[in-house]
Amino acid sequence: MPTALRSAVAAVPAVAAPAGETLPVRARGALRLITCGSVDDGKSTLIGRLLHEAQGILDDQLATVTRDSRRFGTTGEDVDFALLLDGLEAEREQGITIDVAYRFFSTGRRAFVVADTPGHAQYTRNMATGASTSDLAVLLVDARKGLLEQTRRHAAIVSLLGIRHVVLAINKMDLVGWSQLRFAELVAGFRDFAAPLGFRVVTPIPLSARFGDNVVRPSANAPWFDGPTLLDHLETIPIADETEADLRFPVQWVSRPNADFRGAAGTVASGRIAVGDPLVVAASGRTTRVARIVTMDGDRDVASAGDAVTLTFTDEIDIGRGDVLVPPRARPTVTRRFAADLVWMTDEEIEAGHNYRLKIGTATVAATITRIADRLDLASLDRVPADRLALNAIGRVHVETAVPVAIDPYAENRSTGAFILIDRATHATAAAGLVAGPLGAARDVHVHAGAVQPSLRAFVKAQRPLAVWLTGLPGSGKSTIADLVERRLVALGHHTMLLDGDNVRQGLNVDLGFDAASRAENVRRVGEVAKLMTDAGLIVLVSLVSPFRADRDKVAALFGPDRFLEVFVDASPETCRLRDPKGLYAKADAGRIVNFTGRDQPYEPPLAPGLVLPTDEIAPEIAAERLVQAILDRVRPQPTSALDGAQL
């Protein structure tokens, strides 16, 4: 995808060429533009008129629109050019735009890809989709109504999405008598409002989309206007070249049609790449060089932004879907925590603590909104404090992902700077997000790929690494079982480490309390330590209450299903109270311990644990033996061929 949000909002339809014309695979040098604004400002009519005047409509299309104008049109006896864009039956019946309509046309000077987007507030997500693909925005304003809230919202979204060239199209000037005073008033009002938005060029044009004034030809109705027509401006405005940005190549999938070929397939999101160029896998830090650039039409020496290719490498490197290949000296930030601006797209308000699936490029990972910092006031463009975001709101949030992701600030690179949030229950797109930057000092910290890979460490230890996460209420028997299991595994010659919750709080996590936020951080730190230990080739046993399901899910995402086993040590609260091996329940009842799981705080049992040990019913020794067998089934040594090029 040429931009990250374009890829993330995966519902962007293919650009449709007019009948009888062939749309190139990728229109190099084409100007991508969006028309936006409030309801009934004339967006579809303007594009339809532009297509007609630029001879981008075939005779049969014009005949169809002329016929439909009598049934659905809103322009009396005149042809309703909006119907060229309003392709859905509901759109024609209601006279509104719902979906994003794309049209391709060209003149002798330039090719164009035009996105007509809806003006209604409930379809703001569609407008953001169209804007994410665009280099220029034509923002329409009804000369009678002036600047409306939706006009301001669209202007703010256009700015957030990095569009720096705006045409302020003051439409329906015929309905205000082509008043130069009204035109000047609206232009001044927009310039005052938009000053903080950072637009590079704002070009105001008075026009009448219905009658074609100043669309393609200068209008005799506005002798006081000496600026360009809309088409003149669109044909001459300079556009950015995506090949000038740093290389970003998100891996779509690993192609291995036979034993003799292995390559990384995907689309060059930005920049260019040539045979022999050095590359690094952003997340792992592994380096290599490009051996071949393979396409359906044969090998190439160079590929640029928008090209779909398969890359092969001079070295065997571990790579998969979601990885991003980049130049060694122009790397993105790889982090789990970053700030972003969200355009919220669902009726359900967002609050801190909500969990989603985050899709950025070709990677999809679990993510949590940890903080809502502010909300953009559309009237003043000030950022105001907020603790939630409602439908169509724009706000700054902090995001934490379960595993590190490669990001760039959106202002620097669209391809790795935009993402979407997906509702985990409905799979609907909840928000479009634009990366502001990493939190903390992560930006200039990059992964160092050591000479000894985890697969080699595991091979030397003759076992597969595994994190075994024992969770359950205090007193359920986690520590007892973990001790028995470790003794048995060591006796069998395995390399292990036990991380007990109480022991970890004596050192690494001595600074943490027992409120929900501190518990989440406790789990996060232990998970990171366990991950490092599995990279060392160890079998790591973690005995930790870890009461919240979302925290455990984040930890599980660090490892992947083959290296993580969640074990639910299941004992009833009554049984745990009777055991009370450390006297904690009694202290909690006496008020000497607060935020105690099972009393003051809830415990969320796993929904699909890898193993359940019902310690109400079985002795610790039996539970331990069941767990040992489950571990042994997973940690048998991997074959030498699985080392994938690891070297001593």
Are the C-beta atoms of residues 212 and 204 closer than 8 Å to each other?
A: no
Q: Which residues are annotated as a binding site?
A: 37-44, 116-120, 171-174, 472-479
Q: Which residue is associated with the tokens 């003006």?
A: 119
Tokens (6 digits) for 183: 């035109």
Are the C-beta atoms of residues 250 and 269 closer than 8 Å to each other?
A: yes
Q: Which residue is associated with the tokens 């040594």?
A: 637
Are the C-beta atoms of residues 38 and 144 closer than 8 Å to each other?
A: no
State the CB neighbour count (10 A cutoff) for residue 105.
19
Active site residue 572: no
Tokens (6 digits) for 495: 């390399």
**Longest pairwise C-alpha distance within the chain:** 95
Check 543, 546, 572, 641 and give the catalytic one. Answer: 546
Rg from Cα positions in the chain: 30
Nearest to 508 by CA among 533, 487, 475: 533
What backbone phi and psi angles, to 5 degrees, belong to 434?
-125, 120
Alpha-carbon span 459 to 349, nearest angstrom: 49
Nearest to 271 by CA among 472, 64, 414: 414
State the CB neighbour count (10 A cutoff) for residue 138.
27
Tokens (6 digits) for 497: 């480490």
Identity (one letter) of the amino acid at 561? P
Name residue 206's beta-bridge partners: 170
Q: Which residue is associated with the tokens 């070009």?
A: 203
Nearest to 102 by CA among 136, 129, 79, 123: 129
Strand intervals (E) in 472-614: 496-500, 539-543, 564-570, 611-614
What backbone phi and psi angles, to 5 degrees, belong to 456?
-70, -40
CA dihedral over 471, 467, 555, 530, signed as positive or negative: positive
State the CB neighbour count (10 A cutoff) for residue 152.
21
Helix (H, G, I), strand (E, B) or coil at 155: helix
Alpha-carbon span 47 to 167, nearest angstrom: 14
Angle between helices 516-535 and 549-559 (to 10 degrees): 20
The residues annotated as belonging to the active site are 546
